[in-house]
Structure 1
Amino acid sequence: MPALLHLDASIRRTGSISRELSAHFAEHWRRHHRDGGYAYRDLAADPVPHITHAVREALLDPGTASDAAPAEPALTDALHAELRAASTVVLGAPMYNYTIPSTVKTWVDRIVTPATMVTPHGDPGPLAGKSVVVVTTRGGSYAPGTPRAGWDHLEPYLRAVLQSIGLADDLTFVPAELTLAATVPQMSALMPLAERSLADAYETLTTLAARP
Structure 2
Amino acid sequence: MREINIKDLNVKIEISSLLNFINSKKEFEIDSNGHVYLAHEAPKTLPLIFRGQAKDAKSLEIQTIIANVFTKEYKPEVSATVCTLTPLGAWQNIIALNQDRMTYFDHQTDGVELFENKELENIGWNAIPLDINYREISEFIENNCEGNFMFYDNGMHFNGFVIVSDIEKTKRKVKEYIVGQIKEKIENNELSLNEIDEEIAESLEFFGFKG
Question: Normalised by the shorter chain, which TM-score bucket?
Answer: under 0.3
Normalized against structure 1, the TM-score is what? 0.22
Q: Which has the larger radius of gyration?
A: 2
Normalized against structure 2, the TM-score is what? 0.22
Greater strand proportion: 2
